[in-house]
């Protein structure tokens, strides 16, 4: 029986559509190193846009079935890999958002309009969730006045300085940098606004982050100097907005989202934290801050709704103990919700990176 041609194999694989990018995997350049052996063995590499791809297993099954069904194919040898694409620059004028951090492919800010909504908890678990997929992830604590990430990651180690550059601390598979590691967790930061912006700029420019797929940046609440400095100094992949379900909290979150839009930073989506509570005794689900408002707000603003996170005691307990719940209790409702949010954030970042990618003609 005759063997299939390379064009026939690619034609079969082009029936697989990426659900986020709405294009077939062949035109997106995801199929690499295609080889058709004389013994009927077809081998190729399937390169995903992110290791956090939620449809990885589905892609693998579809690819095996489609290629395996071609006449003459005896076996399919498929290798699944990933390659996070760098974020495209938002402006080409050489100013503001046109700068990149060396070695960092995607920079994702986590912001909120007000304090007390669990933004830092979301940022830590988002970063840890991405790292669990095999991605190389860094975490920058840009909340100068209230740095809490060292406590949440259980470290007080002092960063080393090599050739006048800071080396991040490693904790739970993440590279971490925080003013809390330099000044001490108990020291109050009494800085005027311009100094806050300068500190954030130094964390971006004077830290050796190395090769990272994602750098997650935990911003201070509100729309002050730290947020503006970040938006103006580097090419952000986008921003994740965290809010709780109450109308008052969402109204303020909307203002933060609109601020980022005015400085040309793409909102990757909205997270509703403390969305519901399940009684540990009777199992009843209640919604102390109302429910569903975040999804409705995201729809109204035309941004993705990234998911809802429960008001779960274990999330707080593990943060106080210095570990993300996605690491310590991966099967808990909170951990599952947070991992799904990490996958959706990675997908939105990929969409932005591929938006201007030319179609590959394989025929």
Report CA-CA distances (Å) from 341 to 143, 158, 233, 319.
22, 31, 26, 18
> Which residues, 6 or more positions from 151, have their beta carbon under 8 angstroms from its beta carbon?
180, 185, 319, 320, 322
Residue 73: the pLDDT is 95
Residue 146: the pLDDT is 67
Q: Kindly list the domain boundaries of the chain, sorted by start residue.
A: 6-82, 96-354
Residue 97: the pLDDT is 46
Q: What's the CATH number of domain 96-354, 3.30.565.10, 3.30.530.20, 3.40.50.300, 2.60.40.10?
A: 3.40.50.300
Mean pLDDT, contiguous 10-residue spans, the chain (363 residues): 91 94 92 95 95 93 96 95 77 47 91 88 97 96 81 92 90 92 56 59 83 93 69 81 90 88 90 88 80 89 94 93 96 95 94 61 44
Q: What's the CATH number of domain 6-82, 1.10.1780.10, 3.30.70.520, 3.50.50.60, 3.30.300.130?
A: 3.30.300.130
Tell me the β-bridge partners of 340.
none
> Which residues, 6 or more positions from 36, have their beta carbon under 8 angstroms from its beta carbon?
3, 4, 5, 6, 9, 42
């Amino acid at each position: 029986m005759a063997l299939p041609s390379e064009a026939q194999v690619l034609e079969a694989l082009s029936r697989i559509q990426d659900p986020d990018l709405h294009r077939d995997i062949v035109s997106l350049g995801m199929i690499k190193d295609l080889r058709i052996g004389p013994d009927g063995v077809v081998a190729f590499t399937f390169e995903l846009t992110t290791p956090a791809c939620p449809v990885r297993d589905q892609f693998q099954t579809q690819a095996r079935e489609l290629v395996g069904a071609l006449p003459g194919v005896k076996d399919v040898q498929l290798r699944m890999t990933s390659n996070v694409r760098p974020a495209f620059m938002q402006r080409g004028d050489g100013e503001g958002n046109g700068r990149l951090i060396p070695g960092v492919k995607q920079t994702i800010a986590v912001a909120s309009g007000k304090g007390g909504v669990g933004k830092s908890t979301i940022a830590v678990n988002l970063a840890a969730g991405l790292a669990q997929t095999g991605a190389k992830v860094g975490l920058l604590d840009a909340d100068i006045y209230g740095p809490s990430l060292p406590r949440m990651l259980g470290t007080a180690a002092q960063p080393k300085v090599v050739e006048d550059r800071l080396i991040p601390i490693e904790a739970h598979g993440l590279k971490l940098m925080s003013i809390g590691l330099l000044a001490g967790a108990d020291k109050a930061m009494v800085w005027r606004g311009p100094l806050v912006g300068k500190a954030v700029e130094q964390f971006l420019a004077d830290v050796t982050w190395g090769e990272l797929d994602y750098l997650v940046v935990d911003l201070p609440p509100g729309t002050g100097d730290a947020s503006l400095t970040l938006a103006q100094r580097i090419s952000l992949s986008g921003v994740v907005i965290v809010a709780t379900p109450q109308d008052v909290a969402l109204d303020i979150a909307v203002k933060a989202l609109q601020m980022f839009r005015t400085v040309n930073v793409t909102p990757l989506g909205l997270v509703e934290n403390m969305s519901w509570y399940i009684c540990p005794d009777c199992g009843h689900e209640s919604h102390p801050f109302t429910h569903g408002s975040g999804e409705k707000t995201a729809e109204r603003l035309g941004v993705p709704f990234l998911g809802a996170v429960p008001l779960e005691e274990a999330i707080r307990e593990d943060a106080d103990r210095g570990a993300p719940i996605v690491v310590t209790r991966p099967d808990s409702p909170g951990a599952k919700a947070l991992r799904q949010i990490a996958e959706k954030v990675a997908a939105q970042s990929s969409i932005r990176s591929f938006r201007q990618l030319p179609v590959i003609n394989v025929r």
